[in-house]
Chains A and B, each alone.
Chain A
Amino acid sequence: MSRELRGTPAAPGVAIAAPWVHRPPQSDAPASVSLAEATEIAAAEVGVLASRLRDRGREAEAEILDAQCLMATDPVLHEAAEELIANGADSAMAIVEAGEAVAASFEAIGDEILAARGADVRDITTRIARIMTGAAPPRLERRSVVVAADLPPSVTVELDRALLAGIALEGGSRTAHAAILSRSLGIPAVVGVRGLCKAAAAAAELAVDGDAGIVYLDPDAAVSAGLARTAEAARQRVDLDARFATVALATADGHRVTCAANIGEPADAAAAFGAGAEAIGLFRTEFAFAGRRTAPDEMVQAAAYAEVLRAAGGAEVVFRLADIGGDKPIAYLPLEPEANPFLGVRAIRLAQRHPDLLPTQLRAILRASLVAGQRASIMAPMVADDEDLDLVLDLVADACAAVPDAPVPRVGIMVEVPSAVLLADRLAPRVEFMSIGTNDLTQYLLAADRSNAALAARQDPLHPVVLRAIARVVEAAHEAPGCDVAVCGEMAGDPAGAQLLVGIGVDELSMDPRAIGAVKRAVGARTLPELVALVASVEQLRSAAEVRAAVETAS
Chain B
Amino acid sequence: MPDAEVEIRNPSGLHARPAAAFVRAAAVFAADVTVTNLTRDSARSASAKSVLGVMGLAVARGHRIRIAAEGSDADDAVTRLTELVDSGLGEAIDGE
Contacts and interface: CB of A to CB of B under 8 A. Distances in A.
Contacts of B56: 76, 102, 105-106
A329 B50 contact: no
Contacts of B51: 67, 70-71, 74
Contacts of A75: 47, 49-50, 53
B12 interface: yes
Nearest to B84: A337
Given A67-B20, A337-B24, A337-B89, A109 B58 contact: yes
A327 B17 CA distance: 10
A341 interface: yes
B16 A339 contact: no
A337 B21 contact: yes
Contacts of B20: 66-67, 70, 329
A326 B89 CA distance: 11
Interface in A56-79: 63, 66-67, 70-71, 74-77
A111 B59 CA distance: 11
Nearest to A79: B50
A117 interface: yes
Contacts, number: 72
A303 B85 CA distance: 42
A337 B52 contact: no
B23 interface: yes
Interface residues of A, number: 30
Nearest to B25: A337
B90 A337 contact: yes
A113 B13 CA distance: 10
B55 A106 contact: yes
Given A74-B52, A339-B88, A334 B28 contact: yes
B15 A114 contact: yes
Interface string A99-113: 000100110010101
A121 B19 CA distance: 14
Interface in A520-541: none
A177 to B, nearest CB: 12
Interface string B56-87: 10101000000000000000000000001001
A233 to B, nearest CB: 39
Closest 6 CB pairs of A and B: A337-B25, A76-B52, A76-B50, A113-B15, A74-B52, A109-B58
A340 interface: yes
B27 interface: yes
Interface in A112-132: 113-114, 117, 121
Contacts of B24: 70, 329, 335, 337
A76 B15 contact: no
A67 B19 CA distance: 9
B-side interface size class: 20 to 34
Given A67-B20, A329-B20, 17 more contacts: A63-B16, A71-B51, A75-B53, A76-B47, A76-B50, A113-B13, A114-B15, A114-B55, A327-B90, A334-B27, A336-B28, A337-B84, A337-B89, A339-B88, A339-B89, A341-B90, A452-B92
Contacts of A220: none
Nearest to B89: A337
A285 to B, nearest CB: 22
A326 B20 CA distance: 12
Interface string A327-363: 1010000111111110000000000000000000000
Contacts of A77: 52
Nearest to A70: B51
Interface string A284-324: 00000000000000000000000000000000000000000
Given A117-B15, A117-B16, A111 B58 contact: yes
Contacts of A102: 52, 56
Contacts of A340: 90
B34 to A, nearest CB: 12
Contacts of A76: 46-47, 50, 52-53, 56
Contacts of A121: 52
21 contacts: A66-B20, A67-B16, A70-B23, A71-B52, A74-B52, A75-B47, A76-B53, A76-B56, A106-B56, A113-B12, A113-B15, A117-B55, A121-B52, A329-B20, A329-B24, A337-B21, A337-B22, A337-B84, A337-B89, A339-B88, A340-B90
B16 A113 contact: yes
Contacts of A106: 55-56
A74 B52 CA distance: 7
Contacts of B49: 75
Contacts of A114: 15, 55, 58
A499 B6 CA distance: 52
Given A66-B20, A109-B58, A339 B52 contact: no
A116 to B, nearest CB: 8
A76 B24 CA distance: 15
A490 B84 CA distance: 33
Contacts of B21: 337
Contacts of B22: 337
A327 B21 CA distance: 8
